[in-house]
Structure 1
Amino acid sequence: MAVLLITYDLNKPGQNYEKLYETIKSFGPWAHYLESTWFVETNFTKTQVREKLKTVLDKNDHFFICTVKDYDGWADKKLWEWLKKRV
Structure 2
Amino acid sequence: MKPYIITYDLDNPGQRYKDVKQTIDNFGGSNIRIQKSVWLVRNDLSPDEMTSRLKESIDDNDSLFICELIKNYQGLATDETWKFINENIFPSQ
User: Is this a same-fold pair by TM over 0.5?
Assistant: yes
Structure 1 residue matching 2:57: 3-state secondary structure: coil
Q: One-letter code of the match for 1:78?
A: E
Map 1:35-74 → 2, pairs under 5 A: 35-69=36-70, 70-74=72-76
Q: In 2, are the aligned partners of 1:9 and 1:36 still within 8 Å (CA)?
A: yes
CA distance in 2, matches of 1:31, 1:62: 20
Deviation at 1:33, TM superposition (A): 2.6
**Correspondence for 1:9:** 9
- For residues 9-60 of structure 1, give each alpha carbon's deviation from its aligned partner in whole angstroms, at most 9, with x where no partner exists: 0011452211111001111211113111111110001110011111110000
**For structure 1, which segment, 68-77 or 18-27, has the greater mean C-alpha deviation from structure 2 after superposition?**
68-77
Pairwise CA RMSD of aligned residues? 1.3
- Name which of 64, 79, 82 aligns with 1:80: 82
Structure 2 residue matching 1:15: 3-state secondary structure: coil
**Correspondence for 2:27:** 27
Structure 1 residue matching 2:12: 3-state secondary structure: coil
Q: In 1, are the aligned partners of 2:20 and 2:57 still within 8 Å (CA)?
A: yes
Q: In 2, are the aligned partners of 1:33 and 1:76 still within 8 Å (CA)?
A: no
Say how many residue pairs are matched: 87
Q: In 2, are the aligned partners of 1:32 and 1:38 still within 8 Å (CA)?
A: yes
Query: TM-score of the superposition, structure 2-length normalised?
Result: 0.84
Q: Which runs of 4+ in 1 moved over 3 A?
A: none
Q: In 1, are the aligned partners of 2:14 and 2:58 still within 8 Å (CA)?
A: no
Structure 1 residue matching 2:77: 3-state secondary structure: coil
